[in-house]
Amino acid sequence: MRKSVEWRPYVAGALLGVLATLSVWASTAVLGKTQYLGASTTFVRAAGMVEQTVAPEHVDRSPYFLKEKVKVDWQFMLIVGVFIGALASSLADGSFKLETIPPVWRERFGNSAARRAVGGVLGGVLAMFGARMADGCPSGHGLSGLMQLSVSGFLALAFFFGIGALVAAVVYRGKGVRP
């Protein structure tokens, strides 16, 4: 039986396109510098802040931290805002749910929170190393890159998703979400 069309992702997505446009306009008008939505550089700054607590000289001498500048900037606060917005929105419509293991993961790897922690950390290390090498993530390359019709965005998103699909097919083989 065919399901009726679920408009939610289209409407929320189109509104994100409006937000991205307003944000580009507002940042240019207010700050004099056009800011595009992105996320992964914030993780570099967070890493720099963590390292500063134990080895401040090391951070001061690091060419990459000097290039990306360890500070709480526009994008850092954007990501703080994403947390607040998601929390408020999920509490408002009752979709907030405490979850320690994703159901899809549990079907394949069982009920061990430790195993999920290892998967999350290893996946996170790999993904962020890759995102910094590629100079962006699905937000910076995918959304902002494609909105600007940048060749880098098309190429990056094709590899993110293409390799993601290949690896997911191996990792979650025979299991996964019910359609």
- Minimum distance from residue 98 beta carbon to other proteins (Å): 5
Beta carbons within 10 angstroms of residue 80's beta carbon: 12
* Residues 106-135 interacting with other proteins (rule: CB under 8 A): 113, 116-117, 119-135
Member of 56, 88, 110, 112 binding other proteins (CB under 8 A): 88
Q: Note whether 55 binds other proteins by CB under 8 A.
A: no
Closest contact distance (angstroms) between CB of 121 and other proteins is: 4
How many Cβ atoms sit within 10 Å of the Cβ of residue 174?
7
Q: C-beta of 110: minimal distance to other proteins in Å?
A: 14
Nearer to other proteins, 56 or 72 (CB): 72
- Tell me how far, at minimum, the Cβ of 104 lies from other proteins, in Å: 5
User: Site for other proteins (CB under 8 A): which residue of 2, 54, 57, 94?
Assistant: 2
Contact status: 52 vs other proteins (CB under 8 A): no
What 3-state class would DSSP assign to 166? helix
Give the span between the Cα atoms of 56 and 76, in whole angstroms: 20
**Please, what is the Cα angle at 56 between 125 and 133, to 5 degrees?**
30
43 Cβ contact list (under 8 Å, min separation 6)? 128
* 68-87 binders of other proteins (CB under 8 A): 72-87
Among 31, 56, 111, 112, binds other proteins (CB under 8 A): 31
108-116 LR contacts (CB < 8 Å, sep 24+): 108/171, 108/172, 108/175, 108/176
* Identity of the residue, 57 or 103, whose beta carbon is nearer to other proteins in the bound complex: 103
Main-chain phi, psi angles of 84, to 5 degrees:
-65, -45
Beta carbon of residue 107, minimum distance to other proteins (angstroms, whole number) = 10
Query: Judged by CB under 8 A, which of 54, 57, 94, 97 binds other proteins?
Result: 97
In this structure, what are the phi and psi dihedrals at residue 107, rounded to the nearest 5 degrees?
-60, -35
